[in-house]
Amino acid sequence: MPRSRRYDGRTLLTHFLALALALTLQTTQSASEARLRFTAAPEWKPQTVTSMMRVGEYTLPRAEGDPEDAVLIVYYFGTTGGSVQANIDRWLGQLTQPDGRPTKEIATTRSRRINGLAVTDFDASGTYVAEVSPGSQEHHNKPGFRLRAVIVETARGPYFIRVLGPASTIAKWDTTMEAFLQGLEFR
């Protein structure tokens, strides 16, 4: 028969506090290690990530007749990165329309939940005129391009997914892109 142990209140309190601390550390460690998880399509070609702000980068092979491939980049800036609206406004400024209309008139924005995550999906086509690099006076001039950008809000801050390339190439990957988004998880 096992020997019975008697604990005084102080010993019990010490054991309780040690257990609580261990559980807190485990929970804190798990929460701090949580990140956005995703699975890229096998047809997408992984690229070497060249920046600490990039979580993943893929080349989406071009549609027949297009001059170049599309690129999908997943960014994470920690708790920074601006509001959803500030990012939408910035993306609107990266495209112009051949008829002079504001891109806002043709862009679509959709908010939804995917696997418990708040997701905002921006989509617009036009001439891509963003700065060649941040702060540069030189701008791209790529007509017939499409920008699809997604903000995924998580407990550790937003992740940004940007798909950019010729409009027909992006259209070629629309269904695959939707499957990619449906597979997003934060754990």
In a domain, 25, yes or no: no
Q: Residue 16 — pLDDT band, cuts 50, 70, 90?
A: very low
State how far the Cα of 124 lies from the Cα of 108, in Å rounded to an integer: 7
In a domain, 6, yes or no: no
Work out the mean pLDDT of the chain and round it to a whole number.
Answer: 88
CATH code of the domain covering residue 109: 3.40.1000.10
Question: Model confidence over 85-129: pLDDT tens digits?
Answer: 999 999 999 999 999 999 999 999 999 999 999 999 999 999 999
Question: Model confidence over 120-160: pLDDT tens digits?
Answer: 999 999 999 999 998 999 999 999 999 999 999 999 999 99
In a domain, 8, yes or no: no
Helices of type H across 106-173: 167-172
Residue 128, class by beta-carbon neighbours within 10 Å (0-12 exposed, 13-18 middle, 19+ buried)? buried
Q: Model pTM?
A: 0.82
In a domain, 20, yes or no: no
State how far the Cα of 55 lies from the Cα of 48, in Å rounded to an integer: 10
In a domain, 92, yes or no: yes
Number of domains within the chain: 1
Mean pLDDT, range 29-34, rounded to an integer: 63
Residue 78 belongs to domain spanning = 36-186
Q: Are strands 70-76 and 95-96 parallel, antiparallel or unpaired?
A: unpaired
In a domain, 24, yes or no: no
More confident residue, 157 or 3: 157
